[in-house]
Structures are given as structure tokens and as C-alpha cells.
Amino acid sequence: MQTNLLGELGAGTPLDGISIIGDKPREKKTVFLDMGRLESMLGTAPEMPETLSILDSLGFSPAIDGRRIKTSVPSFRYDINEEADLIEEVARSYGYGRLPSTLGNVSGLPGRKNDTDEFNNRLREFMVGLGFTEILTNCLVDEDSVAPFGFETDDLVKVLNPVSSSSAYLRPTLMCGVTQTIVRNLRRGGQSIRVFELGKLFRKKRGTPPEERFVLTFGITGERMPDRWDPLRGKVDIFDAKGVVGALLSELRVDTPHTLCYDKKGFRKDSSCGFSAAQAELGFLGEVEPAIVDSVPGIYVGELFVDRLAEFARRIAEYSEPPRFPGIKRDISIIVETGVREAELRETICLSGGSYLKEVKLFDVYEGKEIPKGKKSLAYSLFFRSNERTLSDEDANSEVEAIVKELRDRNGAVLRAAHS
């Protein structure tokens, strides 16, 4: 009737058949509900007529099939897939207050948390011990909030039936929620903010199923120690954030972690770094671009992969006998190209230092007067010791010569000075 009226008024031309605009509605699904199963799950159950009435009021078009009820699931009910879903719908409409309270069987075996929960609690306790506060942020995001961190639409896992456009995707990173929490607290007068969150991120790549991964994300900003009057009270920087990760890796006894150069979208250039162990990425951190966080500088965020931390963490500390012989300390200063990474130099020193080399410390980095342009000076403290005897000066000097030669051959380093 309406179609004919529109045609008569000249507002359109009637077409034969049915045209579908947008996505084609999915076919209705049939799900059966067994009355015995319903009573077993709830401890009681409404009579068949009342159950039929409940399902009919919810749009399920129920029909009796012996002791079962056959239902046709409406196309808009994406959450109904099996019998358990129908039981939940009936229980909700029937009224939870009408269900009997019963004490279930209590096992005589004591309960315990699984290894994953134990490890996550270990991370929480350590972060709280460093003065951080745990937060819980929304796992649903929009495209605009994650785009500044380098995520495109193809990287996001879309929600089938989002409540709003601002909750259309599962978060591919926890950095959005952490930075938003920090900015919100700064607006309300916060000065020294340290927060962290343990949660899941969701990402996908073309041709592969979505990835679901547990991460530890933290953020710091403001005064380093607001209650102090001495120079330690200054603003936090990249080294404070790096110190948090270093302390955590030390607590977990991760063997020989490495710090790497890291250039990630969303972080200020030359103010970010990554972490690895055995060539596996552990995570990253950096200073968030001020443009992303309402032009607020000095917000540092890190994200660590919990599965990798658990993989490389050692639960049992290894014991070593206290040294019986004294050690020898040597300091060396070398000059290298500005682009040479300190991690490469440290690796060369450790590999060429022999069994006597026990400790390597970088205590000075210098660029400027007396150093050629395009080069930098690094000074290391080397500690040598033997478990069998007291080392002589000749032993230590021989080790230093081998280290300097390897630095020259592998990294192009030139010895600036060496001291006892």
C-alpha cells in the first residue's frame, strides 16, 4: 500500500522483489532447552507453561518438543549460542531471589592459585613496592585513541555489536588507558604519579587469528621524590622509567637482559628504548609525544610482555660460594663513533674478557672538548677475580689487552686511557 502511494505521488518507482540494504541479516539459530537440565542447573525450575511464557516474552518463539523446548533465536541476540545461554535467560527472568540457596560439595583438598596467577601477583606486589598504584582501564577503545601509537584499523579487533563508536574495538595496547589516567590526575592537581595495569591486549594481522596477550603497562610523571628538598627531587626522566624495568628484571632474575634502541610511533625521538633477553623482545618504554597527551611533557610509559617475563624469570636463586681470593680492578676509556651502541661494546667486553672478568660497569660518557667531532668517549670499570688463586697484575693487564684488541677489531674503538 505504501509502495503504491509513493508511486502515485511520483516519489519513486516500485520494484519487484526484495532489496536488502546493508549487511544481510543472519539466519535464525535453533537452540533446544531440556527441562531436566534447567532444573539441575538452577536447583529448581518454573513449570513448562511459565518457562514457555518467559522465552516467548524474550522473543524466542518457543515450541514444546517432548521434555524439551525448541527455540528460534532472534537475529539480534548474538549472545545466545547454546543451552546454557537459554538457562541464564530463564533464571534472570524467573528471578534469582526465587532460586534456593544450597551448599555445594566442599573438597578436602586445599585450593591454590595456578602458576600464571602466582606470577601476576608477584608482579603486582613488586610494582606496589616501588610506589605504583594499580589501575583498571576500559578494554574497549576507538580508532582515534590508538592511532597516535601506530595502530591502524587493520590491526584492531572489532566488536560485533558495540555499544557506541567509542567502544568499537578491543584495545591493542594498554598505553591509551594509562596515559589517559595520568592526564586526568594531572588536571586534578596530581604532582607525582606512578600507575600500572596488568591486563590483556588484542591485536590481529591479515590472514592470522587475533592475538590475545597479557602485558604489564606502567606510567610515571612529575616529581621524582616530591617530599625531599635535595637535588633528588627533580623531574622524572627516561632513566627513572628504565630503572623501573631494570629493577623488575633483576627481581625476576632474568639472565643478561639487553637494552636496545627503539623507535616507535607515539614516543619522542631519541627518548625510547626496548628490552630483550636471548634475542626475544621483553617490552619497551619511552616518553609519550606531548601532542598525544594534551601537550603535557614528561610522561613516560612502558609495556612489558608478561609471557616473556615468565619464560625468562628464574624462580630459584642460584648459590655461589663466597670468593676466597681478592680481585683486581682496571679502568679503561675508549673512543668510538657516536652511532656505536653501548650494548655492542659491553657485549664485546664480556665475550673477550675471559673467565676472570666478573663485572663490567659504565661510569662515564663524554662528548665535547678533546674528543673528535662525531665521536664519543666511554669509560668502563672492569673487575677481575679467580676462584683458584690470587691474580697478578700481569694477569689483569693481559685480560685488558685482549679486551682492547677485540674492541678495536669489532667496534673500531681507540684506547683513550687505561688505569689501575
Same-domain check for residues 149 and 295 = yes
Same-domain check for residues 268 and 337 = no
> pTM score, two decimals?
0.69
Determine the structural domain holding residue 245 and report its residue range: 115-312
Cα dihedral sign, 367-370-375-377: negative
Residue 57 lies in a domain: yes
**Residue-level pLDDT at 336:** 92
Same-domain check for residues 154 and 121 = yes
Last residue of a domain, one of 42, 67, 98: 98
Same-domain check for residues 275 and 401 = no
Q: Look at phi and psi of residue 171 and say left if phi exceeds 0, alpha if psi is from -120 to 50, else beta.
A: beta
Residue 17 lies in a domain: no
Residue 323 lies in a domain: no
197 to each of 157, 189, 262, 328, how far by Cα in Å?
Answer: 20, 22, 22, 44
The residue type found at 61 is S
**Residue-level pLDDT at 417:** 65
User: 60 phi and psi, to 5 degrees?
Assistant: -95, 0
Last residue of a domain, one of 98, 130, 152: 98
> Residue 236 belongs to a domain with what CATH number?
3.30.930.10
Residue 164 lies in a domain: yes
Total number of domains constituting the chain: 3
Same-domain check for residues 185 and 228 = yes
Same-domain check for residues 296 and 154 = yes
Same-domain check for residues 274 and 356 = no
Nearest in space to 364 (alpha carbons), one of 348, 377, 374: 377
Alpha helices in 24-142 (DSSP H): 35-42, 48-57, 83-94, 115-129
**Residue-level pLDDT at 113:** 80
Per-residue tens of pLDDT for the chain, all 420 residues: 567 776 677 666 776 666 666 666 667 789 999 999 998 888 887 889 999 999 999 999 899 988 899 999 988 888 898 999 999 999 999 998 888 887 666 666 677 788 889 999 999 999 999 999 999 999 999 999 999 998 888 889 999 888 888 889 999 999 999 999 999 999 988 888 999 999 999 998 777 788 899 999 999 999 887 776 666 678 899 999 999 999 999 999 988 788 877 788 899 888 888 898 888 899 999 999 998 888 888 999 999 999 999 999 887 777 778 889 999 999 999 999 988 888 889 889 988 988 899 999 999 998 888 888 889 999 999 999 998 999 999 999 999 999 999 999 999 999 886 555
Same-domain check for residues 290 and 340 = no
> Residue 32 belongs to a domain with what CATH number?
3.30.56.10
Q: Which residues contact 129 (CB under 8 A, 6 or more apart)?
A: none
Residue 267 lies in a domain: yes
**Residue-level pLDDT at 331:** 92
3-state secondary structure at position 46: coil
Same-domain check for residues 191 and 137 = yes
Residue 368 lies in a domain: yes
Residue 199 lies in a domain: yes
Residue in the block written with cell 631519541: 270
Same-domain check for residues 83 and 148 = no
Same-domain check for residues 163 and 134 = yes
- Nine cell digits for residue 154: 587493520
Residue 133 lies in a domain: yes
Last residue of a domain, one of 72, 98, 124: 98
Q: Where are the beta strands (DSSP E) in 52-205?
A: 63-65, 68-73, 133-134, 140-141, 157-158, 169-170, 192-203
Same-domain check for residues 131 and 217 = yes
- Nine cell digits for residue 240: 627513572
